[in-house]
Amino acid sequence: MNPQEIFCPNMDCPARGQTGKGNIHVHSQQDKRYICDICEQTFSASKGTIFYRLRSDPKMVMWVIVLLAYGYPIQAIVKAFELDERTVRDWQQRAGKHCQNAHEHLVESSQLELQQVQADEIKVKTQKGTFWMALALKAWRGARLY
């Protein structure tokens, strides 16, 4: 647990979102909790992640999410890891929501100075229907592709 890499998630804290300021300390090593010296609030190390308030092993959750990302059927994952189908779907929804929030915060809400953008799209057919996936990359002048 490294408090220098963590910021206070309290919306009312003046130090919210600021890392490396020395205001965050380990509150409980065993419970993996931090405390902010400024607002005096404690919070879990997993706050703001897909693992927040999840009682499952994070490694297991990540294995399942990676397999889902590679197109493995939920039924195969359920059988292989002896999990409940609702659990796998919940983890998938958590990961998707977290990625969506990160995208909205990092991409949609920021002002990007783009000189050249390369965009592509792909049509994906699944058992539940057809979906479109899009990707855009900023190309830097002088960048080399290896």
Please report, as a single letter, which amino acid is at residue 67.
L
Contact at 8 Å (CB) between 8 and 21?
Answer: no
Q: Give the sheet arrangement for strand 42-44, strand by strand.
A: 24-28, 33-36, 42-44
Helix, strand or coil for residue 102? Answer: helix
Instruction: For the chain of 146 residues, list the mean pLDDT of each consecutive stretch of 10.
Output: 81 86 86 89 88 91 93 95 96 91 78 71 81 74 55
pLDDT of residue 144: 56
3-state secondary structure of 79: helix
- β-strand pairing of 117-126 with 42-44: unpaired
Provide the whole-model pTM.
Answer: 0.65
How high is the pLDDT of residue 45?
86
Q: What percent of the chain has pLDDT over 90?
A: 34
